[in-house]
């Protein structure tokens, strides 16, 4: 099934008809170059999807469709914000299958993201979800401190990993396969330029995070979360 | 050992003295903000390294140093060039541990890289190797056709993988752990926007490549090689 995807709000679907917004109509016609009579897949971004056929101003539902492209585990990334490259983190991690991204303002974070950045990241996540053929659009929440992130986003997360460089700790790739099973949820934190402070590492350990290493090389703050997601996807899809 | 790295040409070292080029002097003083008397690590990019101490115009060798940050396998990536994002591929894959990158002009490649692009990619690889604390600077060769790449870069490569989307083939993450052992060399090919043509897939199979999948989602041409490297690093470092 290779129809192109677009995300709708659940309330846009009334019976078998989806009223298209101006943005959606533009995207379908100008970007995806679809015309009246063409088919596409409308997704809610929350797991529901339909094959639709385009009319002049609407999309008519042909049939519901099951999209089975999600990882068998739920992954929350706590991403300590680098100065540059957050767009790439959101885009790549969405493609690979992240569930939630929590932008973290750690002690060494230099960036002070403006309010419209969040809207931008959410738009990138939606585009990347459409293009990678996911059924879920990841949630990107407002940036918060590490303390808030450890408190708010770790409830009910069965597995908690805190990636550090230069610490003598187990490899994430070596411990993950024996710890993860289907339907588990996990949360993984990655640092920014300069890494975590000692205080932050202690704080994470107190919050029941396992310290892990991503290998012997020093990964940039942009590369680390992409590597984390690649490993989680690799391990979980082979379970 | 957290000294900062810089790459030298082997012939720059005469006895215990390294004559710094203008670029190196600028990099050490202006970018890394080191001054006379500070220490750094000079690497050849081919596996040899020394702790050095800076003088006004030179670096004096203090002692050789063994850097043990390389993957225990050698990885050649055949990267079908996307329109955008090659810099990111080179940077991230260098950090994660790639040995050689072969830019491939596949049938659906739209980019016609100018000659100075190769110099740019090699400079990015050098910077990324320094920053990620590798002892090897990956080799980036001139772009070539898939036919040339399959002929020239697959001799002696024990394991050959060809990543495809939408084919019903084994997951790369599931077959890699049972096939790889220490000191192996492997070559992995990833496609560009629009993927490989059927003809290219047949050509790869004829050249003894195993078709593999990177999962159920459609990864962009930029994300695929980074995911490949993350999986290879994860598997090989836990061997």
Buried b (16+ CB within 10 A) or exposed e, B119-152: eebbebbbbbbbbbbbbbbbebbebbebeebbee
A160: tokens are 């908690």
How confident is residue B167, by pLDDT bands cut at 50, 70 and 90? confident
pLDDT tens string A24-52: 999 999 989 999 999 999 999 999 999 99
Query: Worst-scoring range by mean pLDDT, A1-15, A96-110, A195-209, B114-128?
Result: A1-15
Residues on chain B touching A92 (C-beta within 8 angstroms): 220, 222-223, 226
Residues on chain A touching B222 (C-beta within 8 angstroms): 92
Nearest Cβ partner of A217 from B132, B171, B222?
Answer: B132
- Look at A218 and B96 and tell me if their CB atoms are within 8 Å: no
- How many Å apart are CA B98 and CA B105, to the nearest integer? 20
Arithmetic mean of pLDDT over chain A: 94
pLDDT tens string B173-194: 999 999 999 999 999 999 988 8
Residues on chain B touching A233 (C-beta within 8 angstroms): 173, 215, 227
- Look at A96 and B215 and tell me if their CB atoms are within 8 Å: yes
Token pair 């050698």: residue: B74
- How many Å apart are CA A25 and CA A8, to the nearest integer? 11
Q: Among the residues of chain B, which ranges form H helices?
A: 22-26, 86-96, 115-131, 146-152, 172-179, 198-206, 223-237
- Look at B215 and A233 and tell me if their CB atoms are within 8 Å: yes
CB B215 within 8 A of CB A98: no
- Any idea what the Cα angle at residue B168 is, between residues A3 and A98, rounded to 5°? 65
- How many Å apart are CA A3 and CA A133, to the nearest integer? 9
Return the residue of A nearest to B172 by Cα.
A234
pLDDT tens string B78-87: 999 999 999 9
Token pair 């000294």: residue: B3
**Predicted interface score ipTM higher than 0.90:** yes
- Binding-site residues on chain A for chain B (CB distance < 8 A): 2, 68-70, 88, 91-92, 95-97, 131-134, 166, 171-174, 215-220, 222-223, 226-227, 230-231, 233-235, 237-238
Which listed CATH number (3.40.50.720, 3.40.630.30, 3.40.50.300, 3.40.1280.10) goes with B74-237? Answer: 3.40.1280.10
Residues on chain A touching B134 (C-beta within 8 angstroms): 217
- Look at A223 and B134 and tell me if their CB atoms are within 8 Å: no
Helix (H) or strand (E) holding B136: none
Dihedral in degrees, nearest 10, Cα atoms B210, B213, B214, B216: 180
DSSP per-residue letters across A139-200: EEPPPEEHHHHHHHS-TT-SEEEEE-SSS---BHHHHHHHH--TT-EEEEEE--TT---HHH
- Any idea what the Cα angle at residue B91 is, between residues B147 and B123, rounded to 5°? 85
Domain ranges in chain A? 5-64, 74-237
A5-64: in CATH 3.40.50.300: no
The DSSP output letter for B238 is T
Q: Say how many C-beta atoms besides its own lie within 10 A of residue A37's C-beta.
A: 8
- Nearest chain A Cα distance for residue B169, angstroms: 13
């Amino acid at each position: 099934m290779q129809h192109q995807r677009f995300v709708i709000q659940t309330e846009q679907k009334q019976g078998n008809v989806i009223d298209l917004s101006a943005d959606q109509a533009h995207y379908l016609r100008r970007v995806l170059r679809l015309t009246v009579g063409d088919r596409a897949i409308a997704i809610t971004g929350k797991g529901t999807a339909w094959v639709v056929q385009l009319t002049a101003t609407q999309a008519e539902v042909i049939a519901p469709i099951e999209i089975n492209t999600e990882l068998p585990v739920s992954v929350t990334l706590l991403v300590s914000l680098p100065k540059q490259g957050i767009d790439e983190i959101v885009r790549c991690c969405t493609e690979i299958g992240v569930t939630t991204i929590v932008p973290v303002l750690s002690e060494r974070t230099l960036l002070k993201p403006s309010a419209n950045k969040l809207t931008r990241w959410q738009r990138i996540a939606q585009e990347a979800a459409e293009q990678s053929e996911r059924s879920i659009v990841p949630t990107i929440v407002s940036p918060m401190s590490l303390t808030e992130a450890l408190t708010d986003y770790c409830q009910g997360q069965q597995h908690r990993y805190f990636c550090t460089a230069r610490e003598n700790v187990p490899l994430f790739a070596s411990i993950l396969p024996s710890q993860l099973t289907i339907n588990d949820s996990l949360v993984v934190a990655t640092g920014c330029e300069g890494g975590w402070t000692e205080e932050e590492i202690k704080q994470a350990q107190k919050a029941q995070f396992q310290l892990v290493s991503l290998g012997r090389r020093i990964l940039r703050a942009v590369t680390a979360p992409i590597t984390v997601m690649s490993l989680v996807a690799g391990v979980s899809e082979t379970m």
